[in-house]
Chains A and B, each alone.
Chain A
Amino acid sequence: MSSGVDLEHVTIRFGDFTAVDDANLAIRKGEFFSFLGPSGCGKTTILRAVSGFNEPTEGTIRINGSDMRGIGPNKRPTALIFQNLALFPLMSVADNIAFGLEVEGVKYIERRRRAEELLDLIALSGQGDKMVSELSGGQKQRVAIARALAVEPEVLLLDEPLSALDLKLRQHMRSELRNIQQRVGITFIYITHDQGEALTMSDRIAVMSAGVIEQVGDGSTIYNEPETAFVASFVGENNPFYGKVVKVDGEYAQIQNKFGLLRGRNTQDMSVGDSAILFVRPEALSLVEGNDTTPAENVIESTILAEEFEGPSIHIHMEGDTEKRISFSVSNEGKGTHLKVGDTAKICFEVNRAIVLPEGDLADE
């Protein structure tokens, strides 16, 4: 069975510190939902509140429609996978997996049978008698998942479970997790600071910053239609250009910037005079070659500060309007570039690929 999870005006404070500020969310049944944000943004606190290890200071958490206040973690239909997995080192793999069943009073033979089934599910058949310490990192990972699934939770909560693995294993486990989720069909709530993980696995993502949910949406919405400066700068690479809105026409807005007038989509109803940041992704920037083809608008002329040869592409850094450099890539045409560090060059972007957002804090690099 699977359940939806609703957060209604959830605020969680520790003393004076507000870890989560008025979170409102409806996580659907059977959804793979991710909380994405830098460390300390409150995402783990939300997870612990859903699992029952702390209670919201204000607001309500509902699982499958019923208020969870006052119900301990051992009574909730959730199972949590810890960042360090927290497998029991003194128990065999099968005993680890069957621990939840043991608690429920299931007989040994039946527990053993269920453990074997789950071991099949995680492709570790016949390894139930091993000790946890004999397993590799990825195997431990899967055992932790099996242990959580054994109690047939309605919601599985995952607290950055892949962060301890090396890159290759992490990429493999991403698809594995997604696979398992689709097979068991229960709601997954996944916590990560790794946008790659969030974007590849999730049905929907909530981006968090400093206790506030900035935006909720599927991967492409978060990437292509960011609603705040934080989301635009945290998810993927982005080049910010600061300025005041000087003109609004239809769905576009124009800002006055050090590099001149720049125009982009106005999705957030900015009006003339507002402080704004125009964001352009590196892949939307291109070099202007030769004077005669100069486009009519959105041209930026700046100094080249550095060039990084990466093989298929060449990464170029130019001086920006703040300390942050403008960066973009040109594809390797086989001859290298004719650009030299210290030269000035012109770059441009299409109006539909830039977005004007209210000024706000950017994510730290």
Chain B
Amino acid sequence: MSDFLSVFLAVVLALLVAPMLQKNTDTVWANLRQITFVKKNGVLVSTYLLGAVFIWVGLMIVAPQLYMVDFSFRDGAIGGDPEAYTLKNYSYLIFGRDSDENLFNLLHLQIFLKTILASVGVTLLAFLLCYPIAYYLAQSTKGGTTRLFLIALILPFWVNEILRAFAFRILFGSSGVINVVLMGMGILDEPIDFIKADIAMYAGLSYAYILLMVFPIYNAIESLDHNQIEAARDLGSPWWRIHYRVVIPYAKPGIASGCTMVFMLSAGALAVPQILGGPSSLWFTQIIYDWFFTGGDWSRGSAYAFVLLFSCIIFVLAVMKFFKVNLGELAK
């Protein structure tokens, strides 16, 4: 398997070194200096920048992912042939019922579908929670108050994710604050099992990525000229139409950016579903985790992880296409 990595590195090095070998090094340097990027930043800085970007993107992101792609097409099961390429890791997700290979793997497919749909739900919930906050901060508060609110939003995120998830467990537990209050007010006779019903998990996921939703939307709305809101109001518009016709179209790149991040991270979350999920329901990432660490089948784990990754990417691109958002706008 390490031969794969060596091939990868060999190709990269060949691309870098080959030109140097063909001509003498002086001409290579002279040519390099002609490149605008090198001219503008100097040899040292440009070497550093290119080197850093290469190490980050090439070595730390692309190479391991390619490694995993390679993994996912091999037979990693105990007793299997590790050198042979196969599609069975992927087909297992669809037809992987041990008793009969022709039946759908309903369990895993259901969990996969649930993960995607629930992530959409979490994203919508986070959007509904965050849009009013972002709008209020961006348009209705002034300097000092805005900073105070933003700090109040940021500070809880210094507490690590696992601790926050456990705090939610306490809040939503059968003798937790929420049940106690609801019962004390006489609304409930007996505690609701929020954890079994996955309510705690959805709440925890929505809360976990709230900042990633608030900030892009806040940034987008902040640059909206307040006069436009007043102009719409002056022309007779009720508040909801102002949002629908003026604010949301303007904030669309920010909303898209926030929703994409929350969706991707929710679908890929592990800690929160692990801690807050009900005992009988699994998140797709938990199955991946199990393949890697309990099942010991990295190949199958990789295959599952790629299915999740590509499904999410395709889903996001489709939604962006539907709402007419360009990929470039996400970085605005």
A residues bordering B, Cβ < 8 Å?
A: 51-53, 72-75, 78-80, 82-84, 86-91, 99-100, 102-104, 147-148, 151
Contact indicator per residue, chain B 209-236, by CB within 8 Å of chain A (1) or not (0): 0000000000000000101101111111
In the complex, A88 Cα to B235 Cα: how many Å? 12
Q: Which of B53-61, B165-173, B241-249, B294-302 forms part of the interface with chain A?
A: B241-249
Tell me if B237 counts as interface (CB < 8 A to partner A).
Answer: yes
Are A86 and B236 in contact, with the CB atoms below 8 A? no
Give Cα A210–Cα B135 distance, bound, in whole angstroms: 34
- Asked if residues B250 and A90 are in contact (CB atoms below 8 Å), the reply is yes
Within the complex, which residue of B230, B237, B238 is in contact with A99, where a contact is CB–CB below 8 Å?
B237
Q: What is the chain A residue whose CB lies nearest that of B238?
A: A74
Q: Once bound together, how far apart are the Cα atoms of A84 and B226, in whole Å?
A: 11
Q: Determine the residue in chain A with the shortest Cβ distance to B249.
A: A90
In the complex, are the beta carbons of A88 and B237 less than 8 A apart? no
CA distance A196 to B89 in the complex (A): 81
B237 near A51 with CB under 8 A, answer: no
Contact of B228 among A51, A74, A86, A103 (CB under 8 A): A86
Inter-chain contact B234/A88, CB cutoff 8 Å: no
Are B227 and A84 neighbours in the complex by a CB distance under 8 Å?
A: yes
Partner of A79, one of B228, B235, B249, B250: B235
Mark contacts of B241-273 with chain A using CB atoms, 8 A cut-off: 1 yes-contact digit, 0 otherwise: 100011001100000000000000000000000
Residues from chain B with Cβ under 8 Å of A99 in the complex = 232, 235, 237, 245
Would you give 13 A-B contacts (Cβ < 8 Å), ordered by A? Answer: A51-B234, A52-B234, A53-B230, A53-B234, A73-B234, A74-B233, A82-B227, A86-B225, A89-B250, A99-B235, A103-B235, A147-B235, A151-B236
Task: For the A-B complex with A99-B232, A100-B236, A103-B241 known, give 8 more contacts whose Cβ atoms are closer than 8 Å.
Answer: A73-B234, A74-B235, A74-B237, A75-B236, A79-B234, A91-B245, A99-B235, A104-B236
- State the Cβ distance, A145 to closest chain B Cβ, in Å: 13
Measured between beta carbons, the chain B residues less than 8 angstroms from A74 are: 233-238
Which residues in A have their C-beta under 8 angstroms from that of B227?
Answer: 82-84, 86
Contact (A80, B232) CB under 8 Å given A86-B227, A90-B249: no
Q: With a CB–CB cut-off of 8 A, which chain A residues contact B241?
A: 103
Known contacts A88-B246, A90-B249; A82/B233 CB under 8 A: no
Residue count of chain B within 8 Å CB distance of chain A: 17
CB of B237, distance to nearest CB on chain A (Å):
5
Q: How far is the CB of B28 from chain A (nearest CB, A)?
A: 47
Residue of B nearest to A76 (CB): B234
Q: In the assembled complex, which residues on chain B have CB atoms less than 8 Å from the CB atom of A72? A: 233
**Min CB–CB distance B226 → chain A (angstroms):** 9
A75–B233 CA distance with the chains assembled, in angstroms: 9
Given contacts A88-B246, A90-B250, contact A100 B230 (CB under 8 A): no
Q: How far is the CA of A90 from the CA of B237 in the complex (A)?
A: 17
- Minimum C-beta distance from A272 to chain B (A): 53
| Cα–Cα, bound, A86→B241 (Å) | 17
Contacts of B235 in A (CB 8 A): 74, 79, 99-100, 103, 147-148, 151
B237 touches A103 (CB 8 A): yes
Residue of B225, B234, B246 touching A80 (CB-CB under 8 A): B234
A95 to chain B: closest residue by CB: B245
With both chains docked as a complex, state the minimum distance between the C-beta of A132 and any C-beta of chain B, in angstroms: 11
Given contacts A90-B249, A90-B250, A103-B241, contact A82 B230 (CB under 8 A): yes
Q: How far does the alpha carbon of A74 sit from the alpha carbon of B230 in the complex, in Å? A: 9
Cβ contacts under 8 Å, B246 to chain A: 88
Residue of A nearest to B241 (CB): A103
Cα distance A99–B238 in the bound complex, in angstroms: 12
Which A residue's beta carbon lies closest to that of B229? A86
Per the bound structure, the CA–CA distance linking A103 and B238 in Å amounts to 8
CB-nearest residue of chain B to A72: B233
Instruction: Contacts A73-B230, A90-B249, A99-B232 given; indicate if A84 touches B225 (C-beta within 8 A).
Output: yes
B238 CB contacts on chain A under 8 angstroms = 74, 103
With A84-B225, A84-B227, A86-B228 in contact, is A73–B233 under 8 Å at CB?
A: yes
- In the complex, A36→B236 CA distance in Å? 28
* B177 CB, nearest partner CB in chain A, Å: 40
- Chain A residue at minimal CB-CB distance from B250: A90
Residues A78 and B234 in contact, CB atoms below 8 Å apart: yes
Q: Which residues of A contact B230 (CB under 8 A)?
A: 53, 73, 80, 82, 86
User: Could you say which residues of chain A place their CB within 8 Å of the CB of B231?
Assistant: 80, 82, 86-88
Residues of A within 8 A of B228 (CB): 86, 88
The answer for the CA separation of A140 and B237 in the assembled complex, in Å, is 21
CB distance from B180 to the nearest CB of A (A): 43
B184 to chain A, nearest CB (A): 40
Q: Compute how far the CA of A52 lies from the CA of B225 in the bound complex, rounded to whole angstroms.
A: 19
**Smallest CB separation, A3 vs chain B (Å):** 16
* Residues of A close to B237: CB separation below 8 A: 74, 99, 103
On chain B, the residues within 8 Å of A147 by CB distance are 235
* Closest residue of A by beta carbon distance from B224: A89
Give bound CA distance, A84 to B227, whole Å: 8
Q: Which 8 A-B pairs have the closest CB atoms?
A: A86-B227, A100-B235, A86-B231, A103-B236, A82-B227, A74-B236, A80-B234, A103-B237
In the bound complex, residues from chain B placing their C-beta under 8 Å from that of A82 are 227, 230-231
Q: Roughly how many angstroms separate A91 CA and B234 CA in the complex, as a whole number?
A: 17
Distance A99 CA – B236 CA, assembled complex (angstroms) = 9
Min CB distance A87 to B, Å, is: 8
CA distance A72 to B245 in the complex (A): 19
Question: Closest chain B residue to A159 by CB distance?
Answer: B227
Residues of B near A100 (CB, < 8 A) are 235-236
CA separation between A102 and B235, bound complex, in Å? 10
What chain A residues lie within 8 Å of B245 (beta carbons)?
88, 91, 99, 102
Chain A residue at minimal CB-CB distance from B235: A100
Q: Would you give the shortest CB distance from B69 to chain A, in whole angstroms?
A: 41
Distance between Cα atoms of A266 and B235 in the complex (Å):
48
Complex interface: chain B residues within 8 A of A90 (CB) = 249-250
- Please report which residues of chain B, range 175-228, place their CB below 8 angstroms from some CB of chain A when the two chains form the complex: 225, 227-228
